[in-house]
Amino acid sequence: MPVIQADHVYKVFGKRPERAVQRLAEGASREELRKEGITAAVIDASFDVSEREIFVVMGLSGSGKSTLIRMVNGLQPPTSGSITVAGEDVGALDAKGLRALRRERVSMVFQHFALLPHRSVGENAAYGLALRGMNRSDREAKAEQALSMVGLGGWGGSLPGELSGGMRQRVGLARALAAGTDVMLMDEAFSALDPLIRREMQDQLVELQHKLGKTILFITHDLNEAMRLGDRIAMMRDGRIVQVGTAEQILNDPANDYVAQFVQDVDRTRVLTASSVMEAPVAVLGSEQGPRVAHRLMRENQLSSLMVVDRDYTLRGVVTEADVAAAVQTQGDDLAGVLQPAVTVAPDVAVADLFASSADSRTALAVVEGGRLLGVIPKVTLLSALGGAGHSDDAAHRPGDGIDQHASQGVAP
């Protein structure tokens, strides 16, 4: 079950908001209402956020992101539609219910840190715990633990004013972590930081997320940040969600011209990963086959190299045509002697970082996870991905797909 679920949510500011929702549902435009002094901040938004997911809402200023997140934590009720968090309809909660929600389930990290200037870093980190009535020594221990997680171990006694902007935002993050809630809402949390620190914070968030498995709704107007952080991204425009998808889906298959224009300057080589450009291992050979079989296969199919795999498709290495031909000449009957270790890469490596691995390789890169061959990246595919030309649709496939059907082009184990 999704942790956060928005179902046909509208938020309208101005007179007779319910009537405005009806008009929007019947096709009235945001502009039309604006002329009458009515602002349709969020229009018919539906999405869900799964457990342990970083879901990014991305849009330009005024597109409705803040209004959306304010409805998720109950600061504003939707005009129409519903938002549930951990199964609870947030719009239907009374003040007490909302307090409990914010204390136990949802923490918020803000752009401008929202730290209490005269309280120590430790007290700021422990703030939510104090509200919850936790005793002093327990909350100090928890706060210190959270501060260590964000790299601020030992800073608990300092005042916020003694810290840099990046460190202050880490305190904001530590406060959310100390609260121990499963859900974190982050509203432009890194937007006030300078680019280098911002990048560091993004990396740290992803790392913490891997460790702690929070469910994160992250708001940003920065597309690169969205692409870097989001397991999925909702693109907002003028109050509407125009596309929800992974960074890859949005890059490769934009829902409309607006999204296409938006993403055209994105550095694809940083977003696309090895697994998104790899191809099924078209030329594989069972490791029990001898050089003669390999040689014939390569000649018939005009291949210059073959991936050699064991019965469970574990990659053993690569043989090249020259080596195989030499082995045939010397009457060798074992491939092992001519096997070259393949250049292997993990599926989540960014395309931009693949070239370094492949530079001195005579053959394709092999995408391997847990010893298992998932796919290969021929040099030509890599070059075209690096050149921004993208790749054909059929190049992208789910891990493990295709190995059997394509193995027929080689000699399967």
Ligand X SMILES: Nc1ncnc2c1ncn2[C@@H]1O[C@H](COP(=O)(O)OP(=O)(O)OP(=O)(O)O)[C@@H](O)[C@H]1O
| Interacting residue ranges for ligand X, rule: CB under 6 A | 13, 39, 41, 59, 61-67, 221
**Cα distance between residue 129 and residue 134, in whole Å:** 6
Pick the closer one to ligand X by CB: 66 or 305: 66
Pick the closer one to ligand X by CB: 41 or 373: 41
Closest contact distance (angstroms) between CB of 248 and ligand X is 24
**Cα distance between residue 208 and residue 211, in whole Å:** 5
Closest contact distance (angstroms) between CB of 60 and ligand X is 7
Pick the closer one to ligand X by CB: 64 or 378: 64
Pick the closer one to ligand X by CB: 69 or 171: 69
Single out the residue of 371, 397, 362 nearest to residue 280, CA to CA. 397
Closest contact distance (angstroms) between CB of 301 and ligand X is 54
Q: Which tokens sit at 154? A: 């030992």
Q: In this structure, are residues 340 and 323 in contact, taking their beta carbons and an 8 Å threshold?
A: yes
Single out the residue of 328, 322, 383 nearest to residue 351, CA to CA. 383
Closest contact distance (angstroms) between CB of 63 and ligand X is 4
Neighbours of 253 (CB within 10 A): 12
Pick the closer one to ligand X by CB: 65 or 139: 65
Which residues face 88 on adjacent strands?
85
Pick the closer one to ligand X by CB: 21 or 377: 21
Quick one: how far is CA 349 from the chain centroid?
13
Closest contact distance (angstroms) between CB of 144 and ligand X is 34
**Cα distance between residue 72 and residue 67, in whole Å:** 9
Listed in sequence order, the residues at least 6 apart from 89 whose beta carbon sits closer than 8 Å to its beta carbon are 82, 83
Q: Which tokens sit at 222? A: 């920065």
Strands 365-369 and 343-345, bridge-based pairing: parallel
Closest contact distance (angstroms) between CB of 239 and ligand X is 7
